[in-house]
Chain A
């Protein structure tokens, strides 16, 4: 059974600080997706990483896929209150029909 572990589960920091969220597994994934979910809404796709070692940037957010395609990280620079939300990673694994989801990191950015 493929599993994705996200850490930390909860993070509360001040506006302007930097942070990193991790998504780890002992299994290899063909690709990995990151979503952000705001209260009362459905998750929204932020990025998909496909190649081992790949780095993608989305404004202040930097996503990295591990060389072995078993882990990924999301780094936020100079966090803003608008970054508050639940960050979910989802991996494309053995099954062709469903993603493997992490439990999420709840991020709160305080003004």
Chain B
């Protein structure tokens, strides 16, 4: 158990809809990262927060947004969903804001129909 909790585990929704994915980091970790993983693909970095502030942005679409709250949990909002957004979305946490090893949750599998 990594200590990182992601909800929901599965999400099925229609094109054009909006969803929110939630992540609780491991106790004591200040950084939260969001990754997207399509079928049989590697990890695509989306965004990182450290102690409530955005620290780095990767290949995150403008339709996607995220935030980290004072209690350090994070939410990833995906709007105007398209079929191509179907993927596994992982949250990871680490103690530092640098290149510390990451602890991953088990992901949210999003299916857009």
Residues of A within 8 A of B (CB): 30-31, 33, 35, 40-45, 48, 88, 90, 92, 95-99, 101-104, 106
Contact = CB atoms under 8 A, between A and B. Distances in A.
B102 interface: yes
B95 interface: no
A99 B42 contact: no
B98 interface: yes
Nearest to A93: B99
Contact of A42 (B41, B56, B92): B92
Sorted nearest first, the 7 A-B pairs with minimum C-beta distance are: A42-B104, A92-B99, A97-B56, A103-B42, A104-B42, A98-B56, A45-B101
Given A42-B4, A45-B103, 15 more contacts: A42-B2, A42-B107, A43-B102, A43-B104, A45-B102, A88-B43, A92-B98, A92-B99, A97-B55, A98-B45, A98-B48, A99-B102, A101-B42, A103-B42, A104-B43
Main secondary structure of the interface of B (DSSP, over half): loop
Contacts of B97: 96-97
9 contacts: A35-B102, A42-B90, A42-B104, A42-B107, A95-B56, A98-B48, A99-B45, A99-B99, A104-B43
Nearest to B44: A101
A43 B106 contact: no
B105 interface: yes
A96 B102 CA distance: 14
